[in-house]
């Protein structure tokens, strides 16, 4: 008989969710700053006469960072399942902060030659390791910490903070564009956001040290020496593949409509970079607001209807959205097209964390959520920008639109065949095994 901790008040739950979420925000800010400022620092590390070639090089490094995410998911997921969610989340933010400071201080190619891109690549590898561990552990922590019947709402803050990190990066970009000249941004201004991210991570480190551990880990994993092992994970092949399938379309669509769309509106649509930054910021802000609304809706009607909505919308509307956007001249038209795409993607982003967490028992939850997600994102999410830019370089950019739509359709099939996780939740199943006097059977 293992004692179960007393239920937390809603105030304590919200406080822990906030601390975990702010850490997630800073991690994603540090990650997205690279993509947001790539147009300014690409020449500093990869000098070339062709601007598309420079962006291809920086996009390749962005993709390389993703390659470490499965390894990060494995290392941090195993660590979280064995030693606690809080310990793993604290370690991940330390790694990300160190990487941001390093990038801010790297000399340019002109100063140290080939060592500049080498150091950049190595640093991004470590940041990818950190971010790979952040997703699965954060999704697990938020889902376990959330109040029963409000897990969809609270776990939606996974993407609230993810989008907040991207918004924060865009806001810093807009501010710097307003106070610095274009020449200054290319010369040194791009280093400022990496410094901001590094100091932000130090603040978040303190917050994470004051977080409480989740009840599920305290009651289930402390004495379980098999927790977080690959052998244990292999006992859940269906759940593993379900995470892969549902992530496939979601990650491709998310990075297509956020990270790549910024460059698409500049290179293809021909809009001014400053205008594009404002469009992205406003559209993403509205998407952020949608996350908890969709999450709360999933607590009422289930997770599956929202996932199906994303699958259908992504399949039917991606090609028309990108095709029209390529030829618009009005910033307002571009804004509403982007917003339409983000509303569709929100059917996935708002609830994907809780859906994945509900598939696995506590002793393998962080690894089970993180590893298949990390593998899928590394292969498909991290290469979205590179694939799009490569197709553009060979004058077949429109094929990218069909690629994104096809990915959404594949995930739609997975959503159609999977069961309603809120009705068969492993988190709730474990909770019902407690006796009235809070003892585990």
- pLDDT, tens only, 77-98: 988 888 888 888 888 888 888 8
Rounded to whole angstroms, the Cα distance separating 96 from 101 reads 9
Using DSSP bridges, classify how beta strands 439-440 and 2-3 pair: parallel, antiparallel or unpaired. Answer: antiparallel
* Average pLDDT score over the chain: 86
- The pair of three-digit structure tokens given for residue 216, joined into one six-digit string: 């599920």
Rounded to whole angstroms, the Cα distance separating 193 from 347 reads 31
Write down the pTM of the prediction: 0.84
- The pair of three-digit structure tokens given for residue 165, joined into one six-digit string: 């990190």
- The pair of three-digit structure tokens given for residue 125, joined into one six-digit string: 């590898």
Delimit the domains of the chain by residue range.
2-440
Q: Write out pLDDT tens, residues 120-171.
A: 888 888 888 888 888 888 888 988 888 878 899 999 998 898 889 888 887 8
Cα–chain center distance at 366: 15
For the four alpha carbons of 385, 386, 392 and 395, in that order, the dihedral sign comes to negative
- The pair of three-digit structure tokens given for residue 307, joined into one six-digit string: 């996932």
Residues 326-351 as b/e (b if ≥16 CB within 10 A, e otherwise) read: eebeebeebbbbbbbbbbbbbbbbbb
Rank 20-24, 235-239, 390-394 by mean pLDDT and report only the highest: 235-239
With beta carbons less than 8 A apart as the criterion, state whether 265 and 276 touch. Answer: yes
Q: Which of 197, 160, 186, 191 is nearest to 40 (CA)?
A: 186
Lowest mean pLDDT among 34-43, 165-174, 217-226, 281-290: 217-226
The full DSSP string for 8-45 is PPHHHHHHHHHHHHHHHHHHHHHHHHHHHTHHHHHHHH
Rounded to whole angstroms, the Cα distance separating 26 from 90 reads 12
Lowest mean pLDDT among 2-11, 114-123, 175-184, 424-433: 2-11
Fold of the domain spanning 2-440: Growth Hormone; Chain: A; (1.20.1250)
Judged by phi (left if over 0) then psi (alpha if -120 to 50, else beta), residue 256 lies in alpha
Q: Which of 32, 35, 33, 30 is nearest to 55 (CA)?
A: 35
Rounded to whole angstroms, the Cα distance separating 124 from 35 reads 12
Q: Which of 139, 148, 145, 66 is nearest to 349 (CA)?
A: 139
Q: Write out pLDDT tens, residues 292-310.
A: 999 999 999 999 999 999 9
Rounded to whole angstroms, the Cα distance separating 22 from 27 reads 9
Query: Going by C-beta distance under 8 Å and a sequence separation of 6 or more, which residues neighbour residue 279?
Result: 265, 271, 331, 334, 335, 338
């Amino acid at each position: 008989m293992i004692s179960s901790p007393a239920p937390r008040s809603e105030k304590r739950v919200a406080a822990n969710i906030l601390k975990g979420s702010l850490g997630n925000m800073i991690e994603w800010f540090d990650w997205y700053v690279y993509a947001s400022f790539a147009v300014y620092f690409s020449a500093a590390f990869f000098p070339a006469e062709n601007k598309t070639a420079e962006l291809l090089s920086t996009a390749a490094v962005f993709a390389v960072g993703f390659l470490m995410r499965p390894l990060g998911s494995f290392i941090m997921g195993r660590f979280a399942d064995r030693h606690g969610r809080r310990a793993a989340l604290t370690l991940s933010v330390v790694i990300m902060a160190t990487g941001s400071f390093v990038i801010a201080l790297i000399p340019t190619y002109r100063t140290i030659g080939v060592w500049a891109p080498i150091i950049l690549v190595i640093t991004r590898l470590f940041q990818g390791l950190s971010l790979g561990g952040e997703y699965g552990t954060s999704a697990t922590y938020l889902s376990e910490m959330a109040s029963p019947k409000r897990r969809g709402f609270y776990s939606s803050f996974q993407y609230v903070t993810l989008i907040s990190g991207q918004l924060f990066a865009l806001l810093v970009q807009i501010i710097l564009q307003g106070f610095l000249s274009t020449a200054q941004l290319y010369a040194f201004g791009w280093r400022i956001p990496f410094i901001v991210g590094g100091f932000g991570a130090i603040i978040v480190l303190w917050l994470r040290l004051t977080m409480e551990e989740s009840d599920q880990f305290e009651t289930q994993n402390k004495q379980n020496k098999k927790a977080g092992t690959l052998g244990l994970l292999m006992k859940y092949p269906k759940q593993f593949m379900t995470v892969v399938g549902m992530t496939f379309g979601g990650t491709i669509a998310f990075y297509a409509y956020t990270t790549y769309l910024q460059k698409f509106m500049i290179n293809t649509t021909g809009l001014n970079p400053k205008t594009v930054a404002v469009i992205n910021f406003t559209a993403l802000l509205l998407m952020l607001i949608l996350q908890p609304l969709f999450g709360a809706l999933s607590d009422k009607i289930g997770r599956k209807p929202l996932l199906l909505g994303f699958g259908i919308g992504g399949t039917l509307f991606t090609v028309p959205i990108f095709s029209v956007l390529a030829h618009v001249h009005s910033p307002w038209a571009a804004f509403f097209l982007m917003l339409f795409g983000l509303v569709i993607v929100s059917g996935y982003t708002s609830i994907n964390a809780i859906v994945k967490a509900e598939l696995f028992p506590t002793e393998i939850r962080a690894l089970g959520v993180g590893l298949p997600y990390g593998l899928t994102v590394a292969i498909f999410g991290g290469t979205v920008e590179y694939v799009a830019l490569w197709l553009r370089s060979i004058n077949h950019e429109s094929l990218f639109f069909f690629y994104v739509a096809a990915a959404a359709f594949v995930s739609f099939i997975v959503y159609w065949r999977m069961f309603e996780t809120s009705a068969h939740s492993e988190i709730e199943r474990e909770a019902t095994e407690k006796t009235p006097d809070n003892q585990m059977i």
